[in-house]
Amino acid sequence: MEQLLQQIELYKQDISSYTAATAAEVEAFRIKYLGTKGLVKDVMGEMKNVPNDQKKQFGLILNEFKLFAEDRWNSLKEAVDNAAGDSIDDAIDLTLPGSPVNIGTRHPLSIVRNRVVDIFKSLGFSLAEGPEMEDDWHNFGAMNLPENHPARDMQDTFYISQNPSWLLRTHTSSVQARVMETQKPPIRVICPGRVYRNETISARAHCFFHQVEGLYIDENVSFADLKQTLYHFVKEMFGNDVKIRFRPSYFPFTEPSAEMDISCLICGGDGCNVCKHTGWVEILGSGMVHPKVLENFGIDPNKYTGFAFGMGIERICQLKYRVNDLRLYSQNDLRFLQQFTAAT
Ligand code: PHE
Can you spell out the DSSP letters for 145-156?
Answer: --TT-GGGGGSP
- In this prediction, residue 125 has a pLDDT band, given cuts at 50, 70 and 90, of very high
* Ligand 1 neighbour 287 (Cβ under 6 A): yes
Q: What are φ and ψ of residue 93, in 5° steps? A: -90, 100
Q: For residues 77 and 197, state if they share a domain.
A: no
- For residue 86, the model assigns a pLDDT of 61
What number does the ligand 1 atom closest to the CA of 195 have? 4
As a whole number of Å, the end-to-end CA separation of the chain is 76
Alpha-carbon gap, residue 202 to 204, rounded angstroms: 5
Q: For residues 320 and 173, state if they share a domain.
A: yes
- pLDDT one-digit tens code per residue, 153-209: 766 899 999 998 899 999 999 999 999 999 999 999 999 999 999 989 988 889 999
Mean pLDDT of all residues belonging to the chain? 91
- pLDDT one-digit tens code per residue, 41-90: 988 888 888 888 888 888 899 999 999 999 999 989 988 888 776 655 55
Going from the Cα of 278 to the center of ligand 1, the distance in angstroms, rounded, reads: 23
In a domain? residue 93: no
Going from the Cα of 213 to the center of ligand 1, the distance in angstroms, rounded, reads: 7
* Ligand 1 neighbour 252 (Cβ under 6 A): no
Q: For residues 164 and 287, state if they share a domain.
A: yes
Q: For residues 130 and 34, state if they share a domain.
A: no
Alpha-carbon gap, residue 68 to 222, rounded angstroms: 84
CA angle 270, 116, 269 (to 5 degrees): 5
Burial 307-340 (b: 16+ CB within 10 A, else e): bbbbbbbbbbbbbbeebeebebbeeeeeeebeeb
- Residue 220 neighbours by CB distance under 10 Å: 8
In a domain? residue 92: no
Going from the Cα of 157 to the center of ligand 1, the distance in angstroms, rounded, reads: 15
Identify the residue whose C-alpha is closest to ligand 1 atom 8: 285
Identify the residue whose C-alpha is closest to ligand 1 atom 10: 286
Going from the Cα of 252 to the center of ligand 1, the distance in angstroms, rounded, reads: 9
Domain with 155, as residue range(s), is 108-340
Q: For residues 191 and 336, state if they share a domain.
A: yes
Give the total number of structural domains in the chain. 2
- Which is nearest to 211 in space by CA: 126, 278, 129, 275? 129
pTM passes above 0.85: no
In a domain? residue 97: no
Residue 178: CATH number of its domain: 3.30.930.10
